[in-house]
Amino acid sequence: MKKILYISAVIGLATFTSCKKQLTTEAVGLTTLEQVNATPTLGTVENSVNSSYQLLSNRLNILAQWDWANGLVFQNDLVLQDIASDDLEKKWNPDGDQPWMDDINNFTFTSTNGGPNGLWKYDYEGIKRLNIAIELLTKPDIEAITGITAARKNQLLGEAYFLRSYYYFSLVTNFGDVPLILKPVSTYQEAFEVAVKADKNAVWDKIKSDLTLAKGLLPNAKYSSATERWRANKGSAIALLAKSALYTEKWADVVTNVNELQALGFYSLNANYFDSFNQTKEFAENEVIFCYDHQSNQNPLKGNGICAPLGWGFFAPSTDFLNAFEANDPRKLYTVDAPNQNVNKLLGSTNGSNKGNDDAANNKIYIRYADVLLWKAEAQNELGQYADAVSIINQIRTRARTSASAAGVLPPAGTLPNRSASTNKEEIKNWLISERRVELGFESQRMLDLKRWKIAKTVMTSKGKNFQDKHYLYPIPQGEVDASAGTLKQNPGY
């Protein structure tokens, strides 16, 4: 089977490096460049996109078998965004297991750390697969060759543009300038040519242009497919456009995009905070915009493997995180049951079920409506629309204080009172910072938020962390720099 040749620095695991054969794994049904160049089938078209979702999964060992040191056992967003922040600790009981995670927590990591390495490889493997999918779907005669309908072709192409944008969003927010690869690479020469950083502004521009294409191609419906509700949809494309505008401080665009999302009428805050995470309510609630659909007992495996390390003692809240909640806030227990050492939000349950299960069925949530509303509030505050910003903050707080506990008990009167009217931009910003932390705890947003607000150094050093200016970006994995023969330049300070 012909494989695309990639320098490791560009597209994750180098398919031509024989010494990695025992570690690397191929996805079942993965589309190859040979299939694209030959006569593709309808199955080839479908698989080209479907395999690209896999890198969003919490399934264990997607790219390698128990390669802990290189950060390839599972996605590293919990490590790089939550453990690195002031929210999460590696384990309930500190030990010497996986010291590379401790180095992330303590900001003593180097460019050989497995955390950034795993993130880089997951994202670029996803991009590699999507570049094949996009090349296939944009063939002018693809409908005649495969019999795919125009509507299905447009849907899959919209999904591919969205997913590629999502992976590049991860790369640019964590590494800054990164190689921008937009087509399959099939020769060594091409691989070396693309192993060059693009300016982050060019990456952001491509993210936004791809998302605009995706928005126009995806069906005007809550779900792109009634029978496959996990697929990327128009709402997810608009939401990621809004988030991209947020991260590039285009405040008016944030409001415009969120207004467009709201006009669809597909999403609202769930009555109960935990409904978004409750495994029994998946695709039967109103808040989740984009998630990965984990399923048990599939071949190949499709379960939520992150529940396994939760049973091995991994991922515990920091004392500082627990203290960030106001009295009687039900979101605290719905996020983590500290006495029983259950991270409820990651388990999809409030009774410890799924803990230790490497094939759990609870979904991984990437975008939900409460997060989107807080983006809008932040943009409105920056635009001087203070009353509107405070109103959204109070919507979030109202939903929280009216969420009954797992036992069906409402918080006592006076819990989470509304924020008062204010025209003080800094005061409202501090309310937003506090609200985002408790609303989105353990959803891999905290460190990204601190960095984009440019307060990560202040916050982390106040908590005794060794955060330096260089840590606003993660290092390019040193193995990738070496594989490029120096063409790919390391981030400053590493």
CATH code: domain 221-464 is 1.25.40.390
Question: How far is Cα 344 from Cα 338, in angstroms, rounded to an integer?
Answer: 10
State the number of CA atoms in the 13 A half-sphere of 17 facing the CB: 17
CATH 1.25.40.390 in the chain, residue ranges? 221-464
Q: What are phi and psi of 295, to 5 degrees?
A: -140, 140
Count CB neighbours of 94 within 10 A.
11
Instruction: Give Cβ neighbours of residue 76 (< 8 Å, ≥ 6 apart).
Output: 114, 115, 116, 118, 119, 122
Long-range contacts of 308-311 (CB under 8 A, 24+ apart): 308/60, 308/356, 308/357, 308/358, 309/74, 310/342, 310/343, 310/346, 310/347, 310/354, 310/355, 310/356, 311/355, 311/356, 311/357
CATH 1.25.40.890 in the chain, residue ranges? 1-218
pTM: 0.94
Question: How far is Cα 450 from Cα 460, in angstroms, rounded to an integer?
Answer: 9
Helices (H), 82-222: 99-106, 114-137, 142-146, 150-175, 188-194, 200-217
Q: Report whether 61 contacts 75 (CB < 8 A).
A: no
Instruction: Give Cβ neighbours of residue 422 (< 8 Å, ≥ 6 apart).
Output: 386, 390, 428
Q: Report whether 387 contacts 395 (CB < 8 A).
A: no
Point out which residues pair with 290 in neighbouring strands.
367
The tokens 């040979």 sit on which residue?
A: 34
Token readout for 74 is: 């599972």
Q: Which fold has domain 1-218?
A: 1.25.40
Token readout for 448 is: 């990204």
Instruction: Give Cβ neighbours of residue 106 (< 8 Å, ≥ 6 apart).
Output: 465, 466
Question: How far is Cα 376 from Cα 388, in angstroms, rounded to an integer?
Answer: 9
**pLDDT in 10s for each residue of the chain, 494 residues:** 334 444 554 543 333 332 333 344 444 456 666 656 678 999 999 999 999 999 999 999 999 999 999 999 999 999 999 999 999 999 999 999 999 999 999 999 999 999 999 999 999 999 999 999 999 999 999 999 999 999 999 999 999 999 999 999 999 999 999 999 999 988 878 888 888 999 999 999 999 999 999 999 999 999 999 999 999 999 999 999 999 999 999 999 999 999 999 999 999 999 999 999 999 999 999 999 999 999 999 998 999 999 999 999 999 999 999 999 999 999 999 999 999 999 999 999 999 999 999 999 999 999 999 999 999 999 999 999 999 999 999 999 999 999 999 889 999 999 999 999 999 999 999 999 999 999 999 999 999 999 999 999 999 999 999 999 999 999 999 999 999 988 999 999 99
